[in-house]
Amino acid sequence: MPETERAVYKRVLLKISGEGFGHEGGFGIEAEQLENIARQCVDVAKMGVQLAIVVGGGNFIRGATFSETGHIPRATADYMGMLATVLNAMALQETMEKLGQPTRVQSAIGIYSVCEPFIRRRAARHLEKGRVVILAAGTGNPFFTTDTCAALRATELSADVLLKATKVDGIYNADPKKDKNAVLYHTVTYEQVIREELKVMDLTAFAMCKQQKIPLVVFNMKTPGNIARVVRGEDVGTKITP
């Protein structure tokens, strides 16, 4: 069966945290981790899936944390975090294109020398043309996370699913690092997440996904091939359904 027939989603919004570009607790971009992400994304694009990617910037700076520990106002720290996402987006673009996959970087803040501005209709056209669109600078506004950006862009681009790539295998009923008996959920509802206070993403992002009835899959991106497995509908991670 051809790869294109095995994908269960046509248009996918993938959220990659800044930590995906390096090891936990590290700083900056590590070549091995960057290539792992790029190869997985290229494999998905080759399946005929229209892929948009929202990247975080926590491997360089987290606005909220930085403003609390220094003398930088929160708004300025958040803008610094947005610029960090542009660094990750540019690195991912170059790596994917060296692997043969056409891409475009679109930023929510104007950085015209290195990338396009985010324009919804243009982003959709790139996807229709088979280009991967990497979305940088979050929503372009301070006080909003890249999780919220992912929910917003998934809504704007009419994505079939939002994939949240993390460093754990999915959603547990407890912290698996602290509780060896923590149970991994394979499927949960939005109501169950709220009722059990499960940690998925920030409340603004989660509320938007719930309101727009966007299916959400949380999975471990550190396992090579996991993104393609999720797109094929395999039992990977945790699926949250409306």
Residue-wise DSSP of 13-81: EEEE-GGGGS-TT--S--HHHHHHHHHHHHHHHHTT-EEEEEE--TTT--HHHHHHHSS--HHHHHHHH
213 class by beta-carbon count within 10 Å (0-12 exposed, 13-18 middle, 19+ buried): exposed
Pick 3-241's CATH classification: 3.40.50.720, 3.30.1540.20, 1.10.1060.10, 3.40.1160.10: 3.40.1160.10
Question: How much of the chain is helix, strand and coil, in % rounded to 5?
Answer: 40, 20, 40
Backbone phi, psi, residue 116, to 5°: -80, 160
Query: Mind listing the pLDDT tens digit of every residue in the chain (242 residues)?
Result: 444 458 999 999 999 999 899 887 789 999 999 999 999 999 999 999 999 999 999 999 887 888 888 789 999 999 999 999 999 999 999 999 999 999 999 999 999 999 999 999 999 999 999 999 999 999 999 999 999 999 999 999 999 999 999 888 999 988 888 888 889 999 999 999 888 888 888 889 999 999 999 999 999 998 999 999 999 999 999 999 88
Check residue 176 and give its pLDDT. Answer: 83
Check residue 232 and give its pLDDT. Answer: 95
Q: Residue 220 has what DSSP assignment? A: E
* pTM recorded for the entire structure: 0.94
Check residue 2 and give its pLDDT. Answer: 47
Check residue 104 and give its pLDDT. Answer: 98
* 40 alpha carbon, distance to own chain's centre: 13
Check residue 70 and give its pLDDT. Answer: 76
Check residue 4 and give its pLDDT. Answer: 46
Check residue 132 and give its pLDDT. Answer: 98
Q: Where are the domains of the chain?
A: 3-241
Residue 75: both structure tokens together: 């708004």
